[in-house]
Every structure is written in structure tokens, then in C-alpha cells.
Structure 1
Amino acid sequence: MRIRTAGVVAAGLALVLASAGCGGGDEPADDKAAKTDGGKLVIWADDKRTAALKPFAEKFGQANGVTVEVQAVSKDLQTNFVTASQQGSGPDVVVGAHDWIGNLVQNGAIDPVQLSATQKSSFNEKAITATTFNGQIYGVPYAMENLALIRNTELAPEAPKTIEELVATGKKLQAEKKVSEILCLQVGQTGDSYHIYPFYTSGGGYLFGTAANGDYDPKDLGVGKPESIAAFEKIKALGEKGAGAFKRSITGENYSATFTGKKCAYMVSGPWVVPDVKKANISYDITPIPGFAGGKEAQPFVGVQAFYVAAKGKNKALAQEFVANYTTQPELAVALYNAEPRPPALTAALDQVKGNDPDLAKFQEAGKNGHVLPAIPAMAAIWDPFGKAEAAIVGGADVTSTLTGAAKAISGQIK
């Protein structure tokens, strides 16, 4: 994430408030803020981020003479936010994933965020791309995430160059009774579109084509096309009736424990799982996900966590100031990193923490050519049918008919 110094908080707030038509011309910025809805700013976030945000929110409130409340929403944050927004009972600021943006904009729930060119340049370029929708920036990114291959280096000292090499090593370890599974890749009974995506791309598949301006094009659906069928034929060959590397018995609930229990040498996951690996005292390394031999590069999704300004919040001017000029500071990004170690999107924050955490650079390397997770509303139609198709194919189902059915289901949901 990119961070912006806040030496201009008071002046910036005055400008934002003035442009929003709040208050007369000569009052100090904090006086104006205090008069906006009683000077109260309400922020919604999940449990982990709420704890990290509270001290910074209090500091912002004290500096600007306002009250800031950070409220934890433990479940269904996006859905609850949209509902509350429509009812006029939502927060002023919400914290969430960048792929919410299409849905939130479609529902009129968030406003664009005003960032200067200098501010934008202080962030990882992919992070800005992720939070840009219809040519406007709708969120200030603070963390990035992508999948990588995490390897038990005692069981598998060398990083595999291809998925076939990984499978060969995994089978050898199975034969030696050192592991029970070739790969810890969560699939489950309903599939997992996010985790299978790097292998899908390596096999040549795509979800959406791109328009001339580089945006994803919902009218160009790749699922069901020859490229996707070819990709899933490769995936099927690694499934339960093939090599046995992809299995429905590996789920989101057990994949990490299977790896930390040393029942597999390889795991595909993101930075969120590293604390569990460290706790298990496993010697590990992080490398890019290997693709198919002779295939394309395995490209994981790149996701971003961001701050959004609620379009129907009661204190929009103050929310703009908080999001544009306060969440862009390195100190806050570092605190959020400490709460959950995902690579900061702000370059200055990343520079502060990467010296003590070599894993950050490794995850960045694994995701440097990844695809920004589509934030277009049509993406919501992908997850369920695509995942179920994956699970069926991993279990041995016919690829062509299964993907044709998935494409029909997805197309029917895209408006």
C-alpha cells in the first residue's frame, strides 16, 4: 500500500469540508468537523482490523476535535454494509476487500476517493489498479495478498519448477510413507475458484477478456471456451482419478492442519496461513506456484484490502479526510500489518517491515505477474458455478459437459 504523510490534515480537512459545502469560510477545520453530525465518525471493520484501528482512530479524533467509533462487524460485512447504507443507518467508512467495489458502486454505497498524483504514486501499482473502477479510485488500499507455494523444506528441499515435478516428489514421499498427501490445495465438495485459479491460468484458461482500456469485459466470458476446457483437462489429470494431487477431501478447514501436521510437503495458500506454519515450527520456504510443463505461467489472483468512504454516511467530508489523508500514512499501515501480516500496499510501510519479514518479498515475487481479482459485478456470478465445476472435474466428471453447464449458469446470472 502506499502511504501518504499527513502534515496537511488540518488544511486538507478544511479544503474537503469547504468543497463539500460544510460550514462557513473562516472557521478552523476541526471546528467544522465538530459541527458535522456532532463531530462523529463511524468506521466498520472486521474483528482483527478493528483492534488495530482503534488507537489511530482515537488519535485522529483528538487531532480534529471529533469522536471516532470503530465498530466490529464479525460476519457478512459487505452485505450488512449495503443493507445499512440503503436504510440510512450505515457507517461513514468501511474496511474491506477490493473486489467488493463493483457491487458497492452498483448499489450506490461508496464514493470515489480523492487522491493526488503523489499519493497514488506512493502505492504499489497493482493496488491502485485494484481499487480503480470505471476510471475512478474508490478505495485507499492498505494491504495486498496472493497465493504462493509454501514448502516444508525438510521434506522437499528444492522448489519444484513445474506442477509435474511437484507431483513426482509428492508421490516419492508418499511411497516412502513420509506424507499422506501430495499437495495441500483446498478444493472441498463445492470447489474453490480462488485456489484453483493459478493452475487454470497455467493451463491457458481465462475468466473474462479485457476491453481496450484494460478493464475486465463481462461480455467476454472464458468459462466454457476451448481454452478453459483444455485447462481443466490438465486439472482433471491431477485429480482423484488421475495423479491424486487435487482432492475434494482437502478443504478450507483441514488444509493448513494437514500441512502443519507434516502430512504433505507442499501447500498453496497466502500470507494469512504463515503464523500457523511458524507456530508448528516447520522449516519452510515460499516460492511462486509452479505451472504445467510447457504451459503458461501460473498466475494467482492479487487481492487488496482497502478503506472506503460511504456514499450515504452522515459525515462524508470527515470520512474523505480520514480515508484520503490519514489511512495513507505508514504508521497505520504498519499497525494493520502487525495485526495480520499481509504485505502493505503502501511502499513506505512495506519498506519499514520487510527487513524483519523476508516472507513479504517472497509473496510479492509469487504475485508479481498475478491477475488483479476482478471487481466487476459479473465476478459474483463466477464463484459458485466455477467452484462446483472444479470439484466435479477433480472427482472425475466429464470436462466439456461440466464446463458448458457452468458457463450457462454464469451467463444466466450476468446482467
Structure 2
Amino acid sequence: MKKALSVLMTSALTVGMLAACGPQDEETSTSPASGNGEEKPEKLVVWEDKDKGPALDYAIKSFEKEHGIKVEYKEVETTKIQEQLALDGPAGTAPDVVTIPHDNIGPAVTKGLLTELTTISDESTSRFSESSLDAMTFDGKLYGLPKATETPVFIYNKALMSEAPATMDELKTFATDFTKGGNYGFLALLDNYYFAHGFLNGYGSYVFGEKDGSFDTADLGVNSAEAIEAVDYISTWYKDKLLPNGIIGENGGSALDGLFNEGKVASVMNGPWAFQGYTAAGIEIGAAPMPTLPNGEPVKTFMGVKGWNVTSFSTNKEWAEKFIDHITSDENAKKRFELTQEIPPNTALLEDPIIKDNELASAVALQSQNAVPMPSIPEMSEVWAPMQSAIQTVITGKADSKKALDQARGTIEENIKANHGGK
């Protein structure tokens, strides 16, 4: 975990790692026990995302063939996995492996639902991007291996913009010329802290500092000089009438999507979840990493990571770790992308044609290299509303950025103390 992660929530990316699982696993497959003496089970049970089960079949078949262990999976809504695990664990019916979003790891560990990974080798972890591994880490311990990432990127209408600009300065010049008569050169929900974070963090601000490998909730950087500079920069887009005040608040997202789908917007900042809707509207879209900021730094967007985790109720922990190590190999990650279009954080796949030649996937993969995972600690829930309110106050001209961010910090501190026992 890095200080740059300390804010807030897609990275993908040469095949041929199947052999990496070979000799070592082959040796254990001939023995009834793993290296530390754990008996080989007859089967492992896995909870997978809803409608994603078939993507596991390819990896399961090779694991079963190599180790002689049957793997059964059940599809469960990821939003319900923690709740169900808390019920099934004490009842003795919990799975060995689950998949959850990374920002759920902290709460799940706190509730005693997940166990630390202790047998995963450095060779295995080296295949993932650093930020995706950070997302799987809580209190300095690794609790999962990443399988998919998502993060906001720069999306543009190819009929209105020939190529993505390299810098925000270039984008602002384009937007200044293009924005008129109800048309916009660029739209983004920059009052929403999820999107604004990329700018604030790119300028060097942070939410929680770090202490002894964990987030330090007493160290708040939301009103730092860097944060003030970033919000001042964001506000120039509104002062110059390039971003309309109407594209803010709860309805901002639907308004942004509606204008883009009508062909009135040349480019937007949005996530891969928007690709399908834009394409269905008949827009030929392109995508790229976000343009660099005026200070020369990248926009450091929030990243969401889904991973594979071993439950604390499993009696087959070492074999469960072998399984998640196997299914996240480069070869199996590539196969999963082919079936689900979920973008893996395996860095070797960045150069694989399946990602490299896919403009949309490549954009998410490349942006993810500069993205930071959303903090998975409960205190992060106290940050969203005060920060959104502060940014909205600035862009609507009701307060300067220092006053607004100072107030946001005070509110965050009070709520952490009241709701989480913070000091």
C-alpha cells in the first residue's frame, strides 16, 4: 500500500505462464499432502460472480487434471457474498474460495471471514500490477490475488474527435473551440469525488496517510495545499463555461450519458461500464488513458479490483491458495478476458494482441497503471459526502477551495470520531 493509494474505487494485459504452474504443482499432485502437510481434499468449493461461472471452466479443468481435486462453483451476487459467508461459515457450509471487490476486504477481514495468503510465491505475485496487489492487501497482509480491474478512462466520439489529446491543456483548447450551441468538447462529473480524486491525487493530495503499512485515519490530507491547487484547477473548467453547472449532483451521470449518446459531446471521463451503452447508441467510440495534468503528472484515478480470496472457514487453505494461484495465471487470465471482457491486472498481457489491439481494453489497462485502489477501510465511507459538497461549493462559487476543503476535513474528522471511534 502506498500513500498515493490513500484516496477513495480497471489494467489488463505474453501468454505462456501455464508452464509456470507445472513442475512445482506436478510434484505436489503425486503426494496426498501439500508441502506443509495439509491433506489433499477431494474437492474445493468456490463462489464466483453471478453469470461469470463459465469463465472458470477452462481453469478448473486443468487444475482438476493436474491435481486430482474436484472443483465445484456456485454463482453468487458479489454484493451478497459477505452476508452469506457470515451465515454459512458458522453453519459449516462455507466455500473455500470467494470473489469480492477489494474495498470489501477490510470489513470482511475485520469480521473474521477471510484468511491471509501465506504460501503464494514472489514469482506468482510478480505477474500482477503493483496497484492491484495493493488492493488485495489489508493491514500489510495479502488477502487475495487480483482477477479484474476497472477505472475511469478518456472516452471520445470518433466522429467528433480524431484522436485523444495527450494533455489536459490540449483538451481544454479543443473544448474551448468546440463548446457552443449545446455541444461540449469534454464532460466529466468532477463534483463527484470518485472522479475528482484522479485530479486531486495527480496534484499530490491524499485522504489518509500511511503508518506501519496501514491507513492512518488521523492523518487527513484532504485540505492540503495540493488538494487546494487541484480543486482550483477543476473550478477553471466551470468558470470558463466548459463544464456546465447542471452536470453535477445525483442526476449528473444520466445527463452526461444522454448528451454523449445524442452526439452532442466529443469526449467524456467515464468507466468501462459505459462502453456498451455508448456503442448501443450508435456512437463509434475510442478510448485512451486520461490526458496528463498541467503539472505533467497523470490523472490518478480510483481503481476497483476484484480478486480471489480464501475464506477463514476453509479446512483446505493451502490447496485453496494453489487454486487461486492457478486460475490467475497469465494463460487463465487471458481466457477469462476472452469470455467476460473483464480486464485482468496481469502486466504481461499488456503486450498480448488480445489486449493491445483492443482499443477500449488497452485504455483501461494502461490507465490502471496510474490508478490507485479505493481504501478498503470503513472510515472511507465518511469521506464521500463532505468532499463532494466541498467541490460543489467551490465550482458554484459559494466558497473558495481552502475554506470548503477545511470544512470538509472537519466534518470527516467528526464523523470518524462519532462512527468509528477515531481520535
TM normalised by structure 1 equals 0.79
Tell me the equivalent position of 1:293. Answer: 294
Q: Aligned partners of 1:395 and 1:389: how far apart in 2? A: 10
1:130 partner amino acid:
A
1:190-223 deviations in whole A, cap 9, x for unaligned? x53221211223455322234476x543332112
Equivalent residue pairs, number: 395
Q: How much identity, in percent, do the aligned residues show?
A: 25
Structure 1's 298 and 351: CA in aligned 2 closer, same or farther, altered over 3 A?
Answer: closer
Q: Aligned partners of 1:13 and 1:254: how far apart in 2? A: 56
Tell me the equivalent position of 2:220. Answer: 221
* 1:264 Cα offset (Å): 0.9
Residue correspondence of structure 1 range 74-89 to structure 2 within 5 A: 74=77, 76-77=79-80, 79-81=82-84, 83-84=86-87, 87-88=90-91, 89=93
Tell me the equivalent position of 1:136. Answer: 141
Q: Aligned partners of 1:355 and 1:158: how far apart in 2? A: 17
Contact 1:183 1:245 in 2 (8 A): no
Q: Aligned partners of 1:18 and 1:288: how far apart in 2? A: 43
Q: Tell me the secondary structure at the aligned position of residue 53 of structure 2.
A: helix
* 1:97 Cα offset (Å): 2.3
Structure 1's 311 and 380: CA in aligned 2 closer, same or farther, altered over 3 A?
Answer: farther
* 1:110 Cα offset (Å): 1.2
Contact 2:145 2:324 in 1 (8 A): yes
Is 1:371 the equivalent of 2:372? yes
Tell me the equivalent position of 1:68. Answer: 71
Contact 2:186 2:242 in 1 (8 A): no
1:318-341 deviations in whole A, cap 9, x for unaligned? 4223213x2133343123212443
Structure 1's 153 and 62: CA in aligned 2 closer, same or farther, altered over 3 A?
Answer: same
Tell me the equivalent position of 1:410. Answer: 412
Structure 1's 339 and 9: CA in aligned 2 closer, same or farther, altered over 3 A?
Answer: same
Contact 2:28 2:35 in 1 (8 A): no
Tell me the equivalent position of 1:233. Answer: 232
1:374 partner amino acid:
P
Contact 2:28 2:34 in 1 (8 A): no
Tell me the equivalent position of 1:192. Answer: 192
Q: Tell me the secondary structure at the aligned position of residue 243 of structure 2.
A: coil
1:240-276 deviations in whole A, cap 9, x for unaligned? 8954356216634454453233221111123333344
Contact 1:224 1:403 in 2 (8 A): yes
Residue correspondence of structure 1 range 301-380 to structure 2 within 5 A: 301-313=302-314, 315-324=316-325, 326-352=326-352, 353-380=354-381
Q: Aligned partners of 2:278 and 2:292: how far apart in 1? A: 24
Tell me the equivalent position of 2:4. Answer: none
Contact 2:350 2:362 in 1 (8 A): no
Tell me the equivalent position of 1:117. Answer: 122
Flag structure 2 segments of 5+ consecutive residues without an equivalent. 1-11
Q: Tell me the secondary structure at the aligned position of residue 76 of structure 1.
A: helix
Structure 1's 357 and 158: CA in aligned 2 closer, same or farther, altered over 3 A?
Answer: closer
Structure 1's 181 and 314: CA in aligned 2 closer, same or farther, altered over 3 A?
Answer: farther
Q: Aligned partners of 1:362 and 1:229: how far apart in 2? A: 29
TM normalised by structure 2 equals 0.78
* 1:149 Cα offset (Å): 1.1
Tell me the equivalent position of 2:157. Answer: 152
- CA RMSD in angstroms comes to 3.6
1:69-124 deviations in whole A, cap 9, x for unaligned? 32233362354256336644543211122233222222222112221122122223
* 1:309 Cα offset (Å): 0.4
1:286 partner amino acid:
A
Flag structure 1 segments of 5+ consecutive residues without an equivalent. 24-31
Residue correspondence of structure 1 range 391-406 to structure 2 within 5 A: 391-398=392-399, 399-406=401-408
Q: Aligned partners of 1:397 and 1:87: how far apart in 2? A: 53
* 1:166 Cα offset (Å): 2.7
Q: Aligned partners of 2:38 and 2:298: how far apart in 1? A: 52
1:47-80 deviations in whole A, cap 9, x for unaligned? 2433422554466457655553322333623542
Deviates more, 1:237-246 or 1:255-264: 237-246
Contact 1:198 1:301 in 2 (8 A): yes
Q: Aligned partners of 1:314 and 1:385: how far apart in 2? A: 43
Contact 2:78 2:100 in 1 (8 A): no
Structure 1's 321 and 13: CA in aligned 2 closer, same or farther, altered over 3 A?
Answer: farther
Is 1:104 the equivalent of 2:104? no
2:290 partner amino acid:
I
Q: Tell me the secondary structure at the aligned position of residue 252 of structure 2.
A: coil
1:157-188 deviations in whole A, cap 9, x for unaligned? 2533544543443343232x4x534433246x
Q: Aligned partners of 1:172 and 1:361: how far apart in 2? A: 29
Q: Aligned partners of 1:206 and 1:386: how far apart in 2? A: 12
Contact 1:33 1:65 in 2 (8 A): no
Tell me the equivalent position of 2:21. Answer: 6
